[in-house]
């Protein structure tokens, strides 16, 4: 695919090593163009790693059309998810060029990570784990009688190291019945002793994301979150936790090159189903991680992906009992010849 056009920030970064929130990137094979506005002139010149021609304009679409017209190309590829109807119409109006839809082509290009990319994600994971450790220490010492909102703020503080790192997403902090919502938003609910608390968060290191989830029990004396064992005060919480843990660890252990992603999804799912909680595992097993927090491959029952070396993805089964509680355990792994390695 020689000729393509991109608007997505991470997609552009992947192509040329720089991006910003107002840019269009055009590839015409050996010739590439980075079009942005005057706010980013200096940064673009300093950071673009290939030989893209940098074009500064207040009207990016007009410049894009000018480049395309001048190029005399007959066709160009684009991702129909990457452009609004309005932008695409302005871009393509009366141009004698065929725009060919290639849904998610940038995510497909990014699915196998380089060793450099894997190292960045590993670094992001390490920094992220530091945040989890600090959060666990904080919860054990000062967390009681704080709200989910406040604990989420503290989670941000620890993950970002006081603003030094951007977050992959707003962390989820969910207590007891709120943890039964897979995408819970922190509320004013107060954390008390013996509560179950779910913490899903990650940071970015040089733009690459980390992603991790811990469901904390109540053994505050040894909240070693590198070790996945947790103790819960309620019998069913412990039972459900141990099932999810078995599902997660088994999936990690059995992931291998050449396996269908749908097969990997089924490994943990079958464990949860056999334990009688199948209908409470309401999402897929995982997703790719990279510049975006959600990339390819999808690890789901309907996924067509085959697992290859140097794919990076999450393994995060969960059980969600409405109005009671939820458990999710998540690691991000890289797939190697020897299997899945937790980053």
Interface with a copy of itself by CB under 8 A: which residues? 38-39, 79-89, 101, 103, 149-150, 152-154, 156-157, 160, 162-164, 181-183, 186, 282
Q: How far is the CB of 150 from a copy of itself (least distance, A)?
A: 6
Query: Measured from the CB atom, is 79 or 331 closer to a copy of itself?
Result: 79
Residue 110 and residue 161: Cα distance in Å, rounded? 28
* Residues forming a β-bridge with 318: 328
Residue closest to 335 by CA, chosen among 316, 317, 314, 312 = 312
Q: Which is nearer to a copy of itself, 101 or 114 (CB)?
A: 101
Minimum distance from residue 166 beta carbon to a copy of itself (Å)? 9
**Nearest approach, Cβ of residue 116 and a copy of itself (Å):** 23
Beta sheet of 197-201, edge-to-edge order: 172-175, 197-201, 212-216
Structure tokens at 254: 């059995």
Q: Taking the complex as a whole, how short is the minimal distance between the CB of residue 269 and a copy of itself, in angstroms?
A: 17
131: left (phi over 0), alpha (psi -120 to 50) or beta: alpha
Q: Are 230 and 311 contacting, i.e. CB atoms less than 8 angstroms apart? A: no
Q: How far is the CB of 173 from a copy of itself (least distance, A)?
A: 9
Separation of alpha carbons 37 and 161, rounded Å: 32
Which backbone phi and psi does 130 adopt, to 5 degrees? -55, -40
Minimum distance from residue 7 beta carbon to a copy of itself (Å): 11
Task: Look up residue 301 and give its DSSP letter.
Answer: T
Contact 161, 184 (CB under 8 A): no
Q: How far apart are alpha carbons 52 and 27 in whole angstroms?
A: 9
Comparing CA positions, the residue from 88, 84, 68 lying closest to residue 76 is: 68
- Closer of 83 and 277 to a copy of itself (Cβ): 83
Nearer to a copy of itself, 77 or 239 (CB): 77
**Is the Cβ of residue 85 or residue 258 nearer to a copy of itself in the bound state?**
85
231 three-state secondary structure: coil
Between residues 170 and 233, which has the closer beta carbon with respect to a copy of itself? 170
Taking the complex as a whole, the smallest distance from the CB of residue 61 to a copy of itself amounts, in Å, to: 13
| Residue 11 vs 217, nearer CB to a copy of itself | 11
**83 vs 105: CA distance, rounded Å:** 13
């Amino acid at each position: 695919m020689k000729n393509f056009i991109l608007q997505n920030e991470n997609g552009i970064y992947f192509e040329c090593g720089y991006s910003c929130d107002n840019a269009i990137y055009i590839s015409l094979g050996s010739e590439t163009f980075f079009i942005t506005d005057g706010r980013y002139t200096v940064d673009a010149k300093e950071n673009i790693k290939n030989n893209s021609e940098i074009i500064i304009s207040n009207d990016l679409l007009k410049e894009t059309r000018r480049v395309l017209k001048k190029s005399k190309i007959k066709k160009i590829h684009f991702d129909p998810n990457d452009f609004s109807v309005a932008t695409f119409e302005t871009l393509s109006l009366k141009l004698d060029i065929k725009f060919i839809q290639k849904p998610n082509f940038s995510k497909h290009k990014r699915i196998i990570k380089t060793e450099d990319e894997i190292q960045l994600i590993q670094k992001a994971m390490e920094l992220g784990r530091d945040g989890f450790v600090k959060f666990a220490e904080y919860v054990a010492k000062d967390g009681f009688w704080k709200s989910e909102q406040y604990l989420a703020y503290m989670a941000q503080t620890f993950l970002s190291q006081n603003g030094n790192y951007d977050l992959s997403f707003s962390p989820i902090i969910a207590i007891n019945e709120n943890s039964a919502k897979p995408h819970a938003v922190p509320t004013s609910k107060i954390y008390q002793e013996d509560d179950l608390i779910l913490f899903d968060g990650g940071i970015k290191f040089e733009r690459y994301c980390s992603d991790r989830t811990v469901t904390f029990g109540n053994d505050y004396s040894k909240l070693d979150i590198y070790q996945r064992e947790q103790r819960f005060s309620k019998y069913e919480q412990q039972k459900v936790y141990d099932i999810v843990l078995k599902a997660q660890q088994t999936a990690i252990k059995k992931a291998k090159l050449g396996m269908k992603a749908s097969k990997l999804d089924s490994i943990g799912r079958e464990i949860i189903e056999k334990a009688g909680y199948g209908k409470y595992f309401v999402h897929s097993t995982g997703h790719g991680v990279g510049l975006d927090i959600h990339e390819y491959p999808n690890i789901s029952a309907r996924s067509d992906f085959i697992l290859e070396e140097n794919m990076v993805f999450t393994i995060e089964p969960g059980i969600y009992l409405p109005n009671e509680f939820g458990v999710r355990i998540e690691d991000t792994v890289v797939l190697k010849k020897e299997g899945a390695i937790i980053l």
